[in-house]
Amino acid sequence: GAGVSQSPRYKVAKRGQDVALRCDPISGHVSLFWYQQALGQGPEFLTYFQNEAQLDKSGLPSDRFFAERPEGSVSTLKIQRTQQEDSAVYLCASRRGRSSYEQYFGPGTRLTVT
């Protein structure tokens, strides 16, 4: 079956531009996560959805970051007024249910802010 997909795979934005990153989780997966992975580092948690509810957004670095999952499936991570420090790979992961073990990761979107 299809895995987690993300689009675009690569995004170059000028500083100050807004960007929107899309995640298509595995069909039927209830839980969805966003992570930020800086170059040469491990992923860091940004936010978590259970269905359409955003249960944890404690990892969002500033109010320029906003995520939504309005119908409990596709999710969008939006970054307003991008800054150079936002350059990173943004990973999306989905999980079948709250008690499931495995998170399935997408290929990521590499964002470069110039």
Partner 1 sequence: AQTVTQSQPEMSVQEAETVTLSCTYDTSESDYYLFWYKQPPSRQMILVIRQEAYKQQNATENRFSVNFQKAAKSFSLKISDSQLGDAAMYFCAYRSPSNNAGNMLTFGGGTRLMVKP
Q: Which of 57, 2, 62 is nearest to 32 (CA)?
A: 57
CA 76 to the chain's CA centroid: 7
Q: Which of 17, 29, 14, 18 is nearest to 106 (CA)?
A: 29
Of the listed pieces 20-28, 33-41, 61-69, 77-85, which binds partner 1 according to CB under 8 A?
33-41
Of the listed pieces 21-29, 63-71, 77-85, 98-106, which binds partner 1 according to CB under 8 A?
98-106
User: Can you name the residues that pair with 105 across neighbouring β-strands?
Assistant: 93
- Does 25 interact with partner 1 (rule: CB under 8 A)? no
What's the count of helices (H) and strands (E) in the chain, helices before strands?
0, 11
Contacting partner 1 within 41-70 (CB under 8 A): 41-45, 48, 55-56, 58-59
- Nearest-approach distance from CB 22 to partner 1, in angstroms: 16
- Report residue 4 as tokens: 């987690």
Q: Which is nearer to partner 1, 58 or 84 (CB)?
A: 58
- Nearest-approach distance from CB 110 to partner 1, in angstroms: 9
User: Can you name the residues that pair with 75 across neighbouring β-strands?
Assistant: 23
Instruction: State the residues that interact with partner 1 by CB under 8 A.
Output: 3-4, 31, 33, 35, 40-45, 48, 55-56, 58-59, 91, 98-99, 101-103, 105-108
